[in-house]
Structure 1
């Protein structure tokens, strides 16, 4: 049996799951406007370990969302994952945040457009097939009425920017799956297990999240 701890903190959703052989057995998560990751993440990890009836020493790997997403959220998740991997001497698995988001859309045809809010009309986006194969790599792009206009098949949009994108993306083949707002650690389970079986891991010491855009620190206001 292979137990993997999955950590997803790239968005407002602070999410942790334990999976056995690729199947989620328990998940705890909360999405709050104030980004409570620093307060909730380690508590959630301790709780799901206890509730699953296993020990941390039963874990064969830790999987973490690699981005794109919130700079602070990603740093918190990756730091926690690295700490556990160092302490337990187990591998670290990096999972594409937008693939995790897209995997929650269960469709049989068309394509999935996974998008996360990057402020104003900009989004982080990637395109996946119904089988979850990457059809277009991740971009930071500004959404307008011409976005995705060349697609004739059904496009299923998932992510936390539905409200702002619906105002300009109005073609009949555009479908917004509004219930799928944030990536979840529960949706990471199969992806991380597949990577574990292939020994598709990252260097614990040198791995860095995929921010996509440079982190900008605002200058302090003059008094």
Structure 2
């Protein structure tokens, strides 16, 4: 199965194509250039360089979130358009899980973490169980303090390019926690994303497929404040 994977959920842009257990090619950049301008040229360049035509693709895998609102919209929209146009399967994978999956061989709970500003983070916890990466704390938008409280009494391994921003707070709250030092593990990898997505038995319905923001956009929060609506009256988009 030829699988194209796309991740523009954060600053990194990762694109890869695999065929079963064989890596056909990948492109990755970590310098934030406009994903809306660079994603499709990167896909076209990669496909041409490995001699694969769009009609030979059988599945599109996309990082579904959480992450940058703009980045998620670009990646998900591109993936949906390609899957619909080519009439092939679409699969979404957690952006956090993609980073956690880098951390092979770790026995601790793996906690991928993205900065969500104002001392909040996007985070979840994952654990290798029988060579499968299992989500043991759901992905969520949460204050850093609340996250650290949930992780007390656990062996924890933090990973992600934003971890260094919170390293002091992490070490104070969880003195035995380990913060990743393997440079490549902090960034999403297109090949790993493709592998995760290829393990899913079935694709999703394309048209209702949406990014998993896990948090309201700022304009929605301001609107709620202005209209004095209660939290429970709002149905959060996921």
Same fold per superposition (TM over 0.5):
yes
SS at match of 2:3: strand
Counting matched residue pairs gives 214
Tell me the residue number matched to 2:164.
163
Deviates more, 1:8-17 or 1:106-115: 106-115
Tell me the residue number matched to 1:101.
99
Q: Take 1:150 and 1:84, find their aligned partners in 2: how far apart are those partners? A: 40
Tell me the residue number matched to 1:123.
121
| Structure 2 gap ranges (5+) | 223-238
Q: Take 1:9 and 1:60, find their aligned partners in 2: how far apart are those partners? A: 21
Tell me the residue number matched to 2:230.
none
RMSD: 2.0
Say whether residues 1:3 and 2:2 are aligned partners. yes
Q: How does 1:25-174 map to 2 (within 5 A)?
A: 25-33=24-32, 35-131=33-129, 132-144=133-145, 147-148=148-149, 151-170=152-171, 171-174=174-177
Whether the 8 Å contact between 1:22 and 1:192 is mirrored in structure 2 is: no
Whether the 8 Å contact between 2:16 and 2:25 is mirrored in structure 1 is: yes
SS at match of 1:66: strand
Task: Give CA deviations for 1:60-81 in whole Å, capped at 9, x if unaligned.
Answer: 0111111011110011011111
Q: Take 1:127 and 1:19, find their aligned partners in 2: how far apart are those partners? A: 27
Higher helix share: 2
Is the alpha carbon distance of 1:4 and 1:145 closer, same or farther for their aligned partners in structure 2, counting shifts above 3 Å? closer
Tell me the residue number matched to 2:209.
207
The structural deviation recorded for 1:158 is 0.7
Is the alpha carbon distance of 1:207 and 1:169 closer, same or farther for their aligned partners in structure 2, counting shifts above 3 Å? same
SS at match of 1:101: helix
Runs of 4+ in 1 over 4 A off after TM superposition: none
Is the alpha carbon distance of 1:125 and 1:145 closer, same or farther for their aligned partners in structure 2, counting shifts above 3 Å? closer
| Structure 1 gap ranges (5+) | none
Q: Take 2:147 and 2:79, find their aligned partners in 1: how far apart are those partners? A: 40
The structural deviation recorded for 1:214 is 1.0
Q: Take 2:140 and 2:217, find their aligned partners in 1: how far apart are those partners? A: 16
